[in-house]
């Protein structure tokens, strides 16, 4: 009997955990593989929220998060500590997702040991190395190293081919975030009491249109965050809306949001929601206002118009489908675009149509089958 292949699955932040838990489950279900989970814990509380819901107990937890960590100290620690885990585990393959510091360092540490890398959510490109920063360069580095590139869409696959990645290394799989979203949405439907944590706000804001907000991009720190906060303050001046804003734990986000928005009765600045509650917020919201990557993928799947507070996006599929619109970080523009959606029924309805350009919920299964093909050991 051939021995199963050991895959070290490396992640560290909330969105990586959300997008990898379906893949970990699919690897566990396939006798070809022995998945070993290593979390850097680049995020702590926000990562743990997902691990708990997904029922993942990591085999290695590096516990690397430090308050207000810098990119260089974080990356140095990641590279050293992930390398040690690889030396101990001697995996056959390493899997990383997306474009965080953890993903980039995991790919480099694997490359230094000549271990093949599987890249989930490959090929996203904005074409601007400062938007988003530092993610655009992180994913290009992973793209230079990866053995298998799992592109969520044809657009991301084409970006890899344009960078001369051989076509037989690139596979369009859909984005695993849709697997996660469909799973959690069904779980919420089966047991609505699980998301009762928002009931008090639902009651307080009954009759108002809910604007769901998230924001955390490093390139928006400073002026960008101030402008986003100013825009939300103006939006909240209307008494027909209420804002529910689970505030990211990054201190650069919290300081601005709490000082500018902390006193408004129809703005709820709340702690990061666990994934089931956030999915519930998506369902309650009339409009999402965000600079997040994942939310740009989830909102179209639920037919929620999403205004993206960025200058560029590596996820143009939502814009093409008509559910997402780039509005930048100019306060006046954000307010104008949002009021148009609130006041112009036709404009709202043209965006509020469910599209699923990012996947069909079967991405994790496809990825695991493709790796099994690669190693020549179909279960």
Q: Report the residue from 161, 249, 321, 352 that binds ligand UD1 according to the rule CB under 6 A.
A: 249
- Give min distance, CB of 197 to ligand UDP, in A: 11
List the 170-172 sheet strands across, edge first.
Answer: 60-61, 33-39, 5-11, 93-97, 117-120, 148-151, 170-172
Binds 105: which of ligand UDP, ligand UD1, none (CB < 5-8 Å by kind): none
Q: Do residues 259 and 228 touch, judged by C-beta distance below 8 A?
A: no
Rounded distance between C-alpha atoms, residue 222 and residue 236, angstroms: 21
Known catalytic residues?
99, 121, 135, 216, 218, 248
Rounded distance between C-alpha atoms, residue 183 and residue 207, angstroms: 29
Q: Does 182 bind ligand UDP (CB under 6 A)?
A: no
Q: Output Rg (C-alpha) for the chain, integer angstroms.
A: 20
CB nearer to ligand UDP: pick between 32 and 49: 49
| Piece of the chain touching ligand UDP by CB under 6 A; list 11-19, 145-153, 250-258, 331-339 | 11-19
The interface with ligand UD1 within residues 29-48 (CB under 6 A) comprises 42-46
The interface with ligand UDP within residues 292-321 (CB under 6 A) comprises 292-295, 298
Rounded distance between C-alpha atoms, residue 286 and residue 301, angstroms: 14
Binds 65: which of ligand UD1, ligand UDP, none (CB < 5-8 Å by kind): ligand UD1
Give the DSSP H/E element, type plus range, for residue 72: helix 71-89
Q: Report the residue from 1, 3, 68, 223 that binds ligand UD1 according to the rule CB under 6 A.
A: 68
Q: Report the residue from 18, 82, 229, 351 that binds ligand UDP according to the rule CB under 6 A.
A: 18
Rounded distance between C-alpha atoms, residue 221 and residue 223, angstroms: 6
Closest CA to 9 of 19, 22, 24: 24
Q: Does 13 bind ligand UD1 (CB under 6 A)?
A: yes
Q: Report the residue from 12, 15, 123, 224 that binds ligand UDP according to the rule CB under 6 A.
A: 15
Rounded distance between C-alpha atoms, residue 326 and residue 321, angstroms: 13
Beta bridge partners of 246: 270
Distances (CA, A) of 14 to 36, 155, 335: 18, 25, 29
Q: Does 216 bind ligand UD1 (CB under 6 A)?
A: yes
From the CB of residue 363, how many other CB atoms can be counted at a distance below 10 Å? 27
Q: Report the residue from 18, 30, 33, 100 that binds ligand UD1 according to the rule CB under 6 A.
A: 100
- Give min distance, CB of 229 to ligand UD1, in A: 17
**Helix or strand or coil: residue 271?**
coil
Q: Report the residue from 7, 11, 12, 14 that binds ligand UDP according to the rule CB under 6 A.
A: 14
What are phi and psi for residue 303, nearest 5 degrees? 70, 30
The interface with ligand UDP within residues 254-283 (CB under 6 A) comprises 272-273, 275, 278
Beta bridge partners of 317: none
- Give min distance, CB of 79 to ligand UD1, in A: 13
Cis peptide bond N-terminal to 134, omega within 30: yes
Binds 153: which of ligand UDP, ligand UD1, none (CB < 5-8 Å by kind): none
From the CB of residue 251, how many other CB atoms can be counted at a distance below 10 Å? 10
- Give min distance, CB of 128 to ligand UDP, in A: 16
Q: Does 14 bind ligand UD1 (CB under 6 A)?
A: yes
- Give min distance, CB of 273 to ligand UDP, in A: 4
Q: Does 366 bind ligand UD1 (CB under 6 A)?
A: no
Binds 68: which of ligand UDP, ligand UD1, none (CB < 5-8 Å by kind): ligand UD1
Closest CA to 122 of 174, 191, 189: 174
Instruction: Using CB under 6 A, list all residues that contact ligand UD1.
Output: 13-15, 42-46, 65-69, 71, 74, 99-101, 134-135, 216, 218, 249-251
Instruction: Using CB under 6 A, list all residues that contact ligand UDP.
Output: 14-15, 18, 177, 214, 216, 246, 272-273, 275, 278, 292-295, 298
């Amino acid at each position: 009997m051939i021995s199963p292949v050991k895959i070290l699955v490396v992640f560290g932040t909330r969105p990586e955990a959300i997008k990898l838990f379906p893949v970990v489950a699919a690897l566990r279900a396939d006798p070809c593989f022995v998945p070993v989970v290593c979390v850097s814990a680049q995020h702590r509380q926000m990562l743990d929220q997902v691990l708990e819901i997904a029922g993942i107990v990591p085999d290695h937890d590096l516990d690397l998060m430090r308050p207000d960590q810098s990119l260089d100290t974080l990356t140095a620690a990641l590279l050293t500590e992930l390398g040690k885990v690889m030396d101990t585990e001697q995996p056959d393959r390493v899997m990383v997702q997306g474009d965080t510091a953890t993903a980039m360092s995991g790919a480099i540490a694997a490359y230094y040991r000549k271990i093949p890398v599987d890249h989930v959510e490959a090929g996203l490109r904005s074409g601007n190395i400062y938007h988003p920063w530092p993610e655009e360069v992180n994913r290009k580095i992973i793209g230079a190293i990866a053995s298998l590139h799992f592109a969520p869409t044809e657009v991301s696959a084409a970006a890899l081919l344009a960078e001369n990645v051989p076509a037989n290394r690139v596979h369009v799989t859909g984005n695993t975030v849709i697997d996660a979203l469909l799973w959690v949405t069904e779980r919420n439907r089966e047991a609505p009491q699980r998301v009762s944590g928002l009931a008090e706000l639902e009651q307080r804001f009954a009759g108002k249109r809910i604007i769901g907000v998230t924001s955390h991009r490093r390139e928006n720190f400073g002026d960008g965050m101030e402008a986003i906060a100013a825009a939300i303050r103006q939006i909240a001046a209307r008494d027909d809306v209420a804002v529910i804003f689970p505030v990211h734990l990054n201190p650069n986000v919290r300081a601005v949001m709490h000082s500018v928005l902390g006193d408004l009765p129809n703005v709820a600045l709340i702690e990061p929601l666990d994934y089931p509650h956030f999915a519930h917020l998506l369902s309650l919201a009339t409009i999402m206002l965000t600079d997040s990557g994942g939310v740009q993928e989830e909102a179209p799947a639920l037919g929620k118009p999403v205004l993206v507070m960025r200058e560029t996006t590596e996820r143009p599929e939502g814009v093409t489908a008509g559910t997402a619109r780039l509005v930048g970080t100019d306060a006046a523009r954000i307010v104008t675009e949002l009021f148009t959606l609130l006041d112009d029924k036709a404009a709202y309805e043209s965006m509020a149509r469910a599209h699923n350009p990012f996947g069909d919920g079967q991405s994790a299964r496809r990825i695991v089958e493709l790796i099994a093909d690669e190693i020549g050991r179909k279960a």
